[in-house]
């Protein structure tokens, strides 16, 4: 296996596979007005792996192709509704977890894939588990990172006083100061009003603030003064994520994912979790691992949330290599 070097901040290097371009790109047109971008890379005859990106609303990026041996895997990336290259941009209309599952099934059938591996992190891990619980016979295995299960306690940790705010008080102050004091008891709702304001200036201001709060906490080496994300990206990320959080992921009960882990009893999985993940604390990964008989939990002691954390990247690469043995 020949790997290239990808320099990480602080002179830490993570070994990724070489940059590659898709051999196929396309759009899936849905009956309810969305066009879902998807692409294929690597070996057209290889073992299929589909990447479930985070957010919701973050979209895929070209580096995600580089976590897999392109000689072995048929690598499929897609942008979930409303984000990335999918259209309409930043739309929350007909945009729910169950719509996303329908899109995944449509892509799977269109590409004539019977079974596939799933690679997902953060919200992508939640979507991966929900999909696997509904369609267990379609899934060969899962590589998950920074586990999230859309529970109220997870949302409270990140968007209420007393969780992540205790570790990043200065960034919490920036995030909350632009909301009137009488609305700070429900920041998700307070931001929702402004993310969908009639004024473009207001929408962009609060979209950037929402995105900076999450991005600032994604790694254990966050810059003291984070750069502003592009407004176009921030709008999709913040509006779609907020929409899903307001609706609790469109799940029927708070612990739905955990309660249905028995449906994965025949599916192997590797869970990779940063010990200092401020976005998705390790307790979620631990609970899912204990309820999932065929899972392996790998805790990285000097890592946070992002897949670009050096120790997380190395663990993800190792996991995708190990899953070659399942075929």
**254 given a catalytic annotation:** no
Beta carbons of 142 and 261 less than 8 angstroms apart: no
* Catalytic residue chosen out of the listed positions 277, 289, 295, 311: 277
Question: Residue 30 — left, alpha, or beta (φ > 0 → left; ψ -120 to 50 → alpha)?
Answer: beta
**10 given a catalytic annotation:** no
Is the omega angle on the peptide bond into residue 56 within 30 degrees of 0, that is, cis? Answer: yes
Is the omega angle on the peptide bond into residue 218 within 30 degrees of 0, that is, cis? Answer: no
What Rg, from alpha-carbon coordinates, does the chain have? Answer: 19
- Using CB atoms within 10 A of its CB, is residue 30 exposed (0-12), middle (13-18) or buried (19+)? middle
- Name the nearest CA neighbour of 4 among 322, 319, 327, 313: 313
* Catalytic residue chosen out of the listed positions 86, 91, 122, 165: 122
* Catalytic residue chosen out of the listed positions 103, 165, 305, 311: 305
DSSP assignment letter at 29: E
Question: Could you please report the per-residue DSSP string of 36-66?
Answer: EEEEEEE-TTSEEEEEE-STTTT---GGGGG
- DSSP element (H, E) containing 154: helix 152-159
**305 given a catalytic annotation:** yes
As annotated, the active-site residues are 122, 277, 305
């Amino acid at each position: 296996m020949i790997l290239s070097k990808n320099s990480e901040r602080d002179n830490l290097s993570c070994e990724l596979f070489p940059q590659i371009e898709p051999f196929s790109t396309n759009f899936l047109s849905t009956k309810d007005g969305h066009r879902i971008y998807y692409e294929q890379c690597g070996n057209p005859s290889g073992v299929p792996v589909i990447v479930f990106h985070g957010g919701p609303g973050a979209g895929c990026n070209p580096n995600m192709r580089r976590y897999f041996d392109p000689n072995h895997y048929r690598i499929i990336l897609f942008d979930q509704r409303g984000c990335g290259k999918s259209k309409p941009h930043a739309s929350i209309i007909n945009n729910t977890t169950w719509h996303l599952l329908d899109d995944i099934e449509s892509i799977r059938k269109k590409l004539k894939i019977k079974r596939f591996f799933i690679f997902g992190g953060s919200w992508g891990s939640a979507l991966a588990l929900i999909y696997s619980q509904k369609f267990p016979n379609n899934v060969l295995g899962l590589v998950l990172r920074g586990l999230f299960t859309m529970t109220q306690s997870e949302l409270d940790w990140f968007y209420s006083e007393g969780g992540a705010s205790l570790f990043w008080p200065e960034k919490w102050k920036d995030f909350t100061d632009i909301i009137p004091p009488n609305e700070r008891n429900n920041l998700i709702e307070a931001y929702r009003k402004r993310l969908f304001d009639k004024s473009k200036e207001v929408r962009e201001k609060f979209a950037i603030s929402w995105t900076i709060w999450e991005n600032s906490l994604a790694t254990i080496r966050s810059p003291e003064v984070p750069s502003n994300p592009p407004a176009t990206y921030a709008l999709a990320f913040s509006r779609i994520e907020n929409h899903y959080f307001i609706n609790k992921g469109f799940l029927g009960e708070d612990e739905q994912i955990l309660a249905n882990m028995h449906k994965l009893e025949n599916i192997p999985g590797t869970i990779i979790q940063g010990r200092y993940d401020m976005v998705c604390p390790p307790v979620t990964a631990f609970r899912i691992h204990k309820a999932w008989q065929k899972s392996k939990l790998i805790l990285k002691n000097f890592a946070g949330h992002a897949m670009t954390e050096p120790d997380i990247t190395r663990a993800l690469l190792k996991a995708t290599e190990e899953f070659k043995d399942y075929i």
